[in-house]
Chain A
Amino acid sequence: MSAFTAVGLSHTYPGAAVKALDRLTLTVPAGQVTAILGPSGCGKSTLLALLGLLWDGPGPTGRLTYHGADRDHDLLALDTNSRAALRGDAFGFVLQSNYLLPHFTCLQNVAMPLALQGWPARVREAWARRLLAAPGVDPHGDLAARADAMPRAVSLGQRQRFAVLRALAADPDVVFADEPSSNLDPRNTTAMFELLALWRGGDLFPAAAADFAADRATPAKLRPWLAAHAGPRRPRTLVLVCHDAELAERHADAPSVCLSTPGGGA
């Protein structure tokens, strides 16, 4: 079963003379870690932007399909609102920079995707704390200790791990990680990949979702979402963009997508 299928996918940025992607055909299997490899400028981030619906300008051609849990989505034909809904419900992003909002605490940043989905502040922050307290999420206890600090007051590695938690907070089906460890030391790199592995393993959310669903104080409108995420394991896909083949080999369990020259043939 595949999560994404691209057929003849090309992309040229407005005003650019060279195609960033040229007739790319690939399959990203669902429930696995797929690495997108290649040198700088080969189109890795562009591919991630197209897969993750982060590019809503002109340029892409071909076919790009996301095989969701309930139906397939033609990603190049979706309207703006559908793209936003898919990004919020099914996708999560961990980027090279953490992009934590500087005027919110780290915990509030973690809960930001839930805020956008209309979760009340009390519930979403309780959910984020529960996430932090889940076994394996914060093995050193440093994240929980700094959860209420502003991002500028925590270390770069902790910020990136909070950013990972933000990507995972709404239990997405796919997480896109663009060079997530390029600014991290080995300890934080390990902790970050363990966190992603924990999510992929499916043990991070069911218990928490069941507890929140059982809590009478939880608003009724959240119960369908909690019920869906408390259920049986779903395939969780990680798309990892990196230029480090060793890192890809270590974490990927599906064949890597290797992009080469500018123009990006797979």
Chain B
Amino acid sequence: MSRAGWAFALGFCRRDLGEAQARAVSLAVAAAVALTVAATVVALAVPDVATEVRLRRMAAQPWTRCVWVQPLSSLDPKFTPERLVALEASARARLPAADPGLAVVGFHAVSLDVFDLNRDATGLSPYGRTVAAGDPLLPALPGLVRGGGGWNPAAPAGLLLCPRYLTRLGGDPDAPPAAVRLRAPASKRPIAWPVAGVLKEPLPLGHVFLIGAADYEALRAADGGDPSTDAESEPLPAGWPATWDDFPAPLRKAVREDGVEASVRPTLAGRALHLADRDRSPRTAADWEAKFRAVAAARPTGPALKWSPQGVTRLPPPPPLGPPEWATVYVTRPADLRHAAEAARDADLYANDANRLLVEEVEAAARSARRVVAALVAAFCVAGSVSLTLALYLRGRQKAAQYGMLKALGATDATLRTLAVTEAAALWLAGASLGLAGAAALGASTLAALGVGWDVLGAALAGDWPPLVAGFLALSLVACVVGNAVATRWVRRRPAAESLGLTS
């Protein structure tokens, strides 16, 4: 086609597109293109954007962008500071790009016997974990606690409980107790420990509470007495009863009500009074001494009762805490979790990479979604192309007389074909521009509703989205142009005499 032909076509279609006779169909064609483009552009972006949003949400929470590691055997060395540094170096070498957020921090998995809030019986020995100073989890915790709680990352004190566990204890997550009663790790003595808050979500690894590492050390040291679960007197002097049943009934009743079981037992030196806590809860030496004094006071006649601290059965002191048996490898990008897990495995460690599997699930879901969306878009495009061709055919029929007159004035088939192509391209351009603007508006409002920034589109732009959209736009242009060429073929091939009513 010559330049003059194109110039004629451009000049003609500039006026022709708004022509009243075919305006409704022209608008319908442009609207169909706009809707198809908008829907397709948005649909094609959804898998990439949704994946990026999910990965960003994972990246925002320290415990969804980390791998937990521990030695394969309890005989293997634990995480000394040197081992943590070596593991961090190994992970850094594995990552494909520098990651300033890479950190390896140890923690202890600990068990505490916590009393039910409503009853004395326990029966629960839940596991939780410590969080040490310098752990990236620490500064993030206020955001993970309901209502912010009373958790101070700078000086963490008290327990953070999972809501379901608190419910199991008989508490209300929305109105947590100020403290829970638990057994001191050293003395096993019941003590109260403050509750700093209730977490919004369950903790990973099945933990149900979280405690600052320094706070846990304080908890271990909180019971500084001389505890034991039972005590024994010196041999009973002559004149004392031979059995506990021979002691005065009021005394026996008072001792029983105090939770103590008493008995007279034979020893190498003679019969001695034995007192034991009925629940095997440790009591301090002072507590036992008061009990013996009460027994002696209840029997004022006879020689005085002597008792010795050596008669107290002592509990072994708690072992030193030592290096942590768990470590957390944090990365900035969830996609790097697989490298962190590989680094741990290289170091003969067990890696709990639930988060890595989650990333793979997200990516697999994105791939599936892309395939589904591509199939839907393809079907939509086929339907759209057919509708478009029909609309353009209708438009062509409406303009048959005009085409006939142009033929009478000397327009060649090539000129009319160029005209059809130009008009289809112009309709497509108008519709595609509207569609892209609509897609941008729809995308912006959706991202705003999700609270996600525009930069999330960077992931889509870096992925398959641009070529897919470009390919679709090119295909839709071809469909529009070819559709119009096909649609106008009838009117172009129709003898001008018929179009102009000379054959009736």
State which of B11-19, B38-46, B337-345, B445-453 sits at the interface with chain A: B11-19
Nearest CB on A from B398, distance (A): 12
Question: Is A121 within 8 A of B502, CB to CB?
Answer: no
Determine which of A88, A95, A117 lies in contact with B500 in the assembled complex, contact meaning CB atoms within 8 Å: A95
Complex: A89 Cα to B404 Cα, angstroms = 17
Complex: A170 Cα to B410 Cα, angstroms = 11
For the A-B complex with A56-B496, A57-B495, A102-B19 known, give 20 more contacts whose Cβ atoms are closer than 8 Å. Answer: A13-B503, A20-B503, A49-B496, A49-B497, A54-B496, A80-B412, A84-B415, A85-B412, A87-B407, A88-B409, A93-B409, A101-B402, A102-B21, A103-B16, A103-B19, A112-B409, A113-B409, A115-B11, A116-B406, A170-B410
Question: Is B19 within 8 A of A87, CB to CB?
Answer: no
Determine which of A96, A97, A103, A118 lies in contact with B15 in the assembled complex, contact meaning CB atoms within 8 Å: A103
Q: Which of B164-203 contact A (CB under 8 A)?
A: none
Question: Is B15 within 8 A of A93, CB to CB?
Answer: no
Question: Is B503 within 8 A of A49, CB to CB?
Answer: yes
Nearest CB on A from B18, distance (A): 7
Nearest CB on A from B202, distance (A): 69
Nearest CB on A from B497, distance (A): 4
Q: Which of B401, B402, B409, B497 has its CB near the most chain A CB atoms (within 10 A)?
A: B409
Determine which of A45, A80, A97, A118 lies in contact with B4 in the assembled complex, contact meaning CB atoms within 8 Å: A118
A52 touches B (CB below 8 Å): yes
Complex: A48 Cα to B502 Cα, angstroms = 8
Question: Is A46 within 8 A of B500, CB to CB?
Answer: no
User: Which A residues are in CB contact (< 8 Å) with B414?
Assistant: 81
Question: Is B497 within 8 A of A116, CB to CB?
Answer: no
Determine which of A85, A96, A178 lies in contact with B410 in the assembled complex, contact meaning CB atoms within 8 Å: A85
A104 touches B (CB below 8 Å): yes
User: Which B residues are in CB contact (< 8 Å) with A116?
Assistant: 8, 406, 409-411, 415
Question: Is B407 within 8 A of A84, CB to CB?
Answer: yes
User: Which B residues are in CB contact (< 8 Å) with A45?
Assistant: 497, 502-504
User: Which B residues are in CB contact (< 8 Å) with A104?
Assistant: 15
Task: Report the nearest B residue to A86, measured CB to CB.
Answer: B410
Determine which of A54, A80, A103, A178 lies in contact with B413 in the assembled complex, contact meaning CB atoms within 8 Å: A80
Question: Is A87 within 8 A of B8, CB to CB?
Answer: no
User: Which B residues are in CB contact (< 8 Å) with A115?
Assistant: 8, 11-12
Determine which of A54, A103, A113, A118 lies in contact with B502 in the assembled complex, contact meaning CB atoms within 8 Å: A54
User: Which B residues are in CB contact (< 8 Å) with A48?
Assistant: 502
Complex: A102 Cα to B19 Cα, angstroms = 7
A55 touches B (CB below 8 Å): yes
User: Which B residues are in CB contact (< 8 Å) with A57?
Assistant: 495, 498
Complex: A52 Cα to B502 Cα, angstroms = 11
Question: Is A54 within 8 A of B412, CB to CB?
Answer: no
A225 touches B (CB below 8 Å): no
User: Which A residues are in CB contact (< 8 Å) with B501?
Assistant: 95-97
User: Which A residues are in CB contact (< 8 Å) with B410?
Assistant: 84-85, 87-89, 113, 116-117, 170
Determine which of B8, B408, B411 lies in contact with A54 in the assembled complex, contact meaning CB atoms within 8 Å: B408
Question: Is A54 within 8 A of B409, CB to CB?
Answer: no
User: Which B residues are in CB contact (< 8 Å) with A52?
Assistant: 408
A-B contact pairs, 27 of them (CB 8 A): A48-B502, A49-B495, A49-B502, A52-B408, A54-B407, A54-B408, A54-B500, A55-B497, A56-B496, A80-B412, A81-B412, A84-B410, A84-B412, A84-B413, A84-B415, A87-B408, A88-B411, A95-B502, A96-B501, A97-B500, A99-B404, A103-B20, A112-B406, A116-B415, A118-B2, A118-B8, A166-B409
User: Contacts A80-B413, A102-B21: A46 and B503 contacting too (C-beta < 8 A)?
Assistant: yes
User: Which A residues are in CB contact (< 8 Å) with B19?
Assistant: 102-103
B405 touches A (CB below 8 Å): yes
Q: Which of A5-22 contact B (CB under 8 A)?
A: 13, 20
Task: Report the nearest B residue to A115, measured CB to CB.
Answer: B8
Complex: A124 Cα to B501 Cα, angstroms = 29
Task: Report the nearest A residue to B413, measured CB to CB.
Answer: A80
User: Which B residues are in CB contact (< 8 Å) with A85?
Assistant: 410, 412
Complex: A57 Cα to B407 Cα, angstroms = 14
User: Which A residues are in CB contact (< 8 Å) with B415?
Assistant: 84, 116
Complex: A70 Cα to B382 Cα, angstroms = 53
Complex: A45 Cα to B500 Cα, angstroms = 11
Task: Report the nearest A residue to B17, measured CB to CB.
Answer: A103
Nearest CB on A from B493, distance (A): 8
Question: Is B4 within 8 A of A99, CB to CB?
Answer: no
B97 touches A (CB below 8 Å): no
Nearest CB on B from A114, distance (A): 9
User: Which B residues are in CB contact (< 8 Å) with A13?
Assistant: 503
Complex: A113 Cα to B415 Cα, angstroms = 13
User: Which A residues are in CB contact (< 8 Å) with B7?
Assistant: 118
User: Which B residues are in CB contact (< 8 Å) with A87?
Assistant: 407-410
Task: Report the nearest B residue to A89, measured CB to CB.
Answer: B410
Complex: A97 Cα to B409 Cα, angstroms = 15
Nearest CB on A from B501, distance (A): 7
Task: Report the nearest B residue to A119, measured CB to CB.
Answer: B4
Nearest CB on B from A106, distance (A): 13
Task: Report the nearest B residue to A48, measured CB to CB.
Answer: B502
Question: Is A93 within 8 A of B11, CB to CB?
Answer: no
Q: Mark B6-42, 1 if CB is under 8 A from A, else 0.
A: 0110011001101111000000000000000000000
Task: Report the nearest A residue to B4, measured CB to CB.
Answer: A118
Nearest CB on B from A63, distance (A): 20
**8 pairs of A and B residues whose beta carbons are closest in the complex:** A88-B410, A118-B4, A49-B497, A103-B19, A54-B497, A84-B412, A99-B405, A45-B502
User: Which A residues are in CB contact (< 8 Å) with B498?
Assistant: 57
Question: Is B8 within 8 A of A93, CB to CB?
Answer: no
Task: Report the nearest B residue to A221, measured CB to CB.
Answer: B4
User: Which B residues are in CB contact (< 8 Å) with A46?
Assistant: 497, 502-503
Q: Which of B400-437 contact A (CB under 8 A)?
A: 401-402, 404-415
Complex: A121 Cα to B8 Cα, angstroms = 9
Q: Which of A20, A56, A97, A103 has its CB near the most chain B CB atoms (within 10 A)?
A: A103
Complex: A117 Cα to B495 Cα, angstroms = 21
User: Which B residues are in CB contact (< 8 Å) with A113?
Assistant: 409-410
Complex: A87 Cα to B498 Cα, angstroms = 16
Q: Mark A149-192, 1 if CB is under 8 A from B, else 0.
A: 00000000000000000100010000000100000000000000
User: Which A residues are in CB contact (< 8 Å) with B407?
Assistant: 54, 84, 87
User: Which A residues are in CB contact (< 8 Å) with B20?
Assistant: 102-103
Complex: A103 Cα to B23 Cα, angstroms = 11
Nearest CB on A from B42, distance (A): 35
Task: Report the nearest B residue to A169, measured CB to CB.
Answer: B409
User: Which A residues are in CB contact (< 8 Å) with B495?
Assistant: 49, 54-57
Q: Which of B406, B415, B497, B498 has its CB near the most chain A CB atoms (within 10 A)?
A: B497
User: Which A residues are in CB contact (< 8 Å) with B497?
Assistant: 45-46, 49, 54-55
